[in-house]
Structure 1
Amino acid sequence: MIQSLHEDMFRISDKLPTEEEQRRVRHLILQNPGEDGAFTDDKLALTFSRCPHLETVVLSGAPETTDRTIVLLAQTATNLHGLNLSNCVEVTDVGLLELTNKSLPLQWLILNGVKGLTDPSISAVAKTCSRLIELELCDLPLLTPVSVRDIWSYSRKLRTLRLANCPLLSDKAFPSPPSLVLPEEPEVEDGEGPHPHQPTTWLEIIPPLILPHTTENLRVLDLSSCKITDGAVDGIVTHAPRIQTLILSGCSMLTDRALESIYRAVFQVARSCTELRCVDVALDFGA
């Protein structure tokens, strides 16, 4: 019996497809580095230029991947639903912006350890990838609150967001609690009196993030080792009322007040979600 094209597509793991397989492969999973030279950037670029039906691609085992290869993937695999570029340190904003320019139907995107990525490409992901339900941005040393605020504002379908070990993230990256009141600047009469506070960095002048909506779909949020305070936790549990897993290990600036906010949110969720069976709140405030 002759199989249809849809039935004949398949998954390949930890090897590159042959010429015969290139037109049929749908899922390419390269998690484990092959022998020396198995997954070079040149080989990947040639492969992606010949694989038009790819839907999911994992390249965590191909750290030599460059922007050129990601551009070819975006141009060829027009039905790409998922992409894992973890530890592909040669990839930059150039490759990621090409993904967003092609309006691909991405539902999950994993960019852990892609250390050259900056705010413009992450903001572009938030604003253009409207179908995203999973986004992982751990270990990105250049990520700032600017792009994370866009994620809260535009990525309304997200169920999982991971931001662990991003050293520049602060409370400014997250929704502000409703009770936040900005301090008034002291009045200065006749040129006398205390001078107003001068921000030490440009991040300090970013206003609080006030959202007109709640993030109803978010279930998992990982903020391990981020420099956030109790105020950020207040805002998060208020704007993500259905969150089930909140990971705050290594957030050493948190105090007992953050725990109180989480407990209040848990009780509120339990009252409103009659089918709720489990809420996993993982906390470790360090030494």
Structure 2
Amino acid sequence: MALALPELLTKIFKFLAEDKALYPALLVSRLWSMCSGPILWRHIELIGGGNAFGEEYKIQLKKFIKIVRKNSRLIYGSSVRYLKISHYDKLSNKVIEKFVEIFPNITHLDFKRSYGYNDIALFKISQAYPNLIHLNVFNNGGLTDHSIIELASRCPKLQYLEISWSGNITDKSIYEITRSCYCLRHLGINGGKNCISNKSIHEITRFIPNIQSLNLNYCKKLTDTTIHALVSSYPDLRKLDLSDCNKVTDIGIRQIAQCRNLEHLALKSLEFLSDETICIIARSCPNISHFNLEFCHVTNIAVEAIAQSCRNMEYLNIYGSESITDRSISKLAKMCPKIRDLELGFCELITDIAIRDIAHNLSDLKYLGLKYCVNIGEEALDTLNPDLDIGGYYTIPSTL
């Protein structure tokens, strides 16, 4: 059956929206505006943060909040499904209450690193959005078990839940989440005043069968027993963050090698890690593309194993690894050409040789961290892409 013109335009416009080429359609005619408007309003993404992201983003966000505060109805408010407002320090309960009023059909909420609201706002969200699939309240700091328990009981369709560093959240919240949110694929529960216990992790593995991503950063009560339970229950795990989990041992971390489809792994500040363990993980998990080993004090042996096995590496952080030399960095540059972010801060033995190999081989590189890499000269830096973001580099004045 032939499609009516508005239906046909809507189907075409959905493809244009994917390439962010739909905005001019608003100005063509009333019909085009009527068909493109709801599509454009489905996905709203704004960033605060001022100088960190550019003043223009902050201005856009202020305009949006002003519109929301003044209007009880927006023409395309019911079209909004995805709302992301990150790095905004004035996201109050009243503003979120207006979101709930104006945007009744949201399934995806992301307030990462935004704060100013508390349990009251989360109660409103829980009551208004029973079909919520994605919620990120990372780093809010003002939430408690009361609102998290309410959220879990009222939003059983959640697939992504990030509540790390969100306030005074304890094992009570985790128990309710495990018994209500069976569909979860990602769960972030790190940090906070009351660190999550081994018992909570065992509850997660018992009741939530399809977890693919876990953020357990700074869960300082976790032990090797916990890691064993995780890798046994989730052999298909894709993302795992165990940074600052300093009660786990080298033997416990080695068990991660059982998750052979792992793509993102963060082990920041686990200073006890041995080169042997990193080598085993790299060889067993060749799909790792994001690897955070900041303050793990790795050596050339570990970096060379990563270069040899993880050819799809895009992000590698070995900040603070003082013994790293040109040998391993040059090998990494030659064998992992997809790297986009490379953090080498405090790798003091790196010289111009490694920088030239990076310049020659890493054409996709967007960021290079070189804080206190004092043996690199200006001529070598000039061989790098002029648009490359170089973080932390400075020259040491020569002594007279």
Alignment of 1:64-143 (within 5 A): 64-88=168-192, 89-143=194-248
Pair 1:31-2:110 in alignment: no
Query: Quick one: distance in 2 between partners of 1:119 and 1:22?
Result: 38
1:42 aligns with 2:139: no
Q: Distance in 2 between matches of 1:164 and 1:269?
A: 21
RMSD between superposed Cα atoms in Å = 2.9
Structure 1, unmatched stretches of 5+, are 176-208, 271-275
Contact 1:64–1:90 under 8 Å retained in 2: no
What is the rounded CA distance, in whole Å, between the counterparts of 2:146 and 2:341 in structure 1? 44
Asked whether 1:16 is paired with 2:89, we answer no
% identity of equivalent residues: 25
Give the conservation status (yes or no) of the 8 Å contact 1:127–1:150.
no
Specify the structure having the higher radius of gyration (Cα). Answer: 2
Q: 1:255 to 1:67 in 2, by over 3 A?
A: same
**Which is further off, 46-55 or 108-117?**
46-55
Per-residue CA shift, 1:196-243, capped at 9, x if unaligned? xxxxxxxxxxxxx498x5533111111011133332223332332332
Q: Answer yes or no: is the 8 Å Cα contact 1:134–1:158 preserved in 2.
A: yes
Higher RCO by CA contacts (8 Å cutoff, separation 6 or greater): 1
Superposed displacement of residue 80, structure 1: 0.2
Greater helix fraction, Structure 1 or Structure 2: 2
Name 1:56's counterpart in structure 2. 160
1:246-257 map, 5 Å: 246-252=316-322, 254-256=323-325
Alpha-carbon shift at residue 164 of structure 1 (Å): 0.9
> Residue 40 of structure 1: CA displacement?
1.8
- Hey, what does 1:237 align to over in structure 2? 307
Q: Does 1:166 align with 2:270?
A: yes
Q: How many angstroms does 1:167 deviate by? A: 2.9
TM-superposed CA distance for 1:73, in Å, is: 0.6
Amino acid at match of 1:60: S
- Indicate yes or no: 2:285 matched with 1:215: yes
Structure 1 residue identity aligned to 2:200: G
Counterparts of 1:268 and 1:47 in 2: how far apart (Å)? 46
- 8 Å CA contact 1:63–1:90 kept in 2: the answer is no
Deviations 1:158-203 (A, max 9, x none): 221111112332224222xxxxxxxxxxxxxxxxxxxxxxxxxxxx
Distance 1:45 1:235, change over 3 A: same
Take 1:116 and 1:232, find their aligned partners in 2: how far apart are those partners?
Answer: 27
Q: State whether residues 304 and 332 of structure 2, in contact with CA within 8 Å, keep that contact through their aligned partners in structure 1.
A: no
Unaligned runs of 5+ in 2: 1-78, 80-103, 112-116, 349-371, 373-400
**In structure 2, what is the equivalent of residue 198 of structure 1?**
none
Are residue 263 (structure 1) and residue 333 (structure 2) matched?
no
1:117-163 deviation per Cα after TM superposition (whole angstroms, max 9, x unaligned) = 22221232223223422211212221221222111x22122221111
3-state SS of the aligned residue for 2:203? helix
Match of 2:294 among 197, 208, 224: 224
Q: 1:265 Cα deviation (Å)?
A: 3.8
CA deviations on 1:37-72 (whole Å, 9 max, x unpaired) are xx2223322432332111111112433211222122
The equivalences for 1:142-157 within 5 A come to: 142-151=247-256, 153-157=257-261
Say which of 338, 342, 351 aligns to 1:281.
342
Alpha-carbon spacing, 1:255–1:27, altered in 2? closer, same or farther (3 Å) = closer
Aligned length: 236
Kept in 2: contact 1:144–1:173 (CA 8 A): no
Paired letter, 2:107: F
**Contact 1:103/1:129, CA 8 A, preserved across alignment:** no
In 2: Cα distance, 1:32 partner to 1:239 partner: 34
TM-score normalised to the size of structure 2?
0.52
